Amino acid sequence: MGYIRKYLQFDTDGISPKEVATLKQTYELLNYKYKTQFLDYKETRNLNFIYLAMQANLTGMLMVQKQFRRCFLIFTKSQSRASKMNWNDRQGSDSSYQVRAYAILRKDYGKVFIRRKSLIDKIINIFVVASINFKMDKAFTNKFYVVAEGKGCADDAIDQHFRDLVKKFSQKDFYINIINRTLMIEYSNGLDAQKTAMMAELACAMSTL
């Protein structure tokens, strides 16, 4: 089986042809940019980020490697908005894909959450400082909302190299969660080939930190 057809190893039951075409495009782009490998759940059950809650909707897993860096892409099904609104209409029952990138980090970061700042965040921050202020990196502080368990720990862990990677690769609607040594990056707007490749790039790069 050639790599062009390997995307069919994903569960496509209940997925619209348009979404399957996006999955095919996503797989082809990932395979072009990186070394990719399909994973079975049994191969990843010892990885602490495969949550039990995901198993019912799990549609496929990829390990993505670039030189000595690697991350994992977890594809799940989510019910489409049309399906939720027309739950008794079979024609509106298509599901869609959601993808998250995971990586194991080299050091313990505690708990960290990062996303792009919104206008509301910037207004609130005038009155109440909710996000961490990195005094030596105003560009990062102005652009990203960062909360962490212990400001001192975050200041030490989220160093310049870390911030540069986030500034370079993180996109609008990317959400970065770190719990100890586990990194998760999520894109909130469904499956997109370019965004998925950028998530993989960021996760792989951060796996070396």
pLDDT of amino acid 128: 57
Please give the torsion angle defined by the CA atoms of residues 183, 143, 205 and 199, in that order, rounded to the nearest 10 degrees: 70
pLDDT of amino acid 177: 92
Q: What is the per-residue pLDDT across 71-109, written as a single tens digit (0 to 9) for each?
A: 999 888 887 654 444 444 444 457 888 899 999 898 888
Q: What is the per-residue pLDDT across 6-34, written as a single tens digit (0 to 9) for each?
A: 566 788 888 888 999 999 999 999 999 99
Question: Which residues on neighbouring strands pair with residue 63, listed in sequence order?
Answer: 37, 72
Place 2 in a pLDDT band, splitting at 50, 70 and 90: very low
Q: Average of pLDDT values for 178-193? A: 90
Contact 63, 39 (CB under 8 A): yes
Question: Which residues on neighbouring strands pair with residue 36, listed in sequence order?
Answer: 64
Place 188 in a pLDDT band, splitting at 50, 70 and 90: confident
Is this prediction's pTM over 0.85?
Answer: no
Contact 153, 126 (CB under 8 A): no
pLDDT of amino acid 203: 95
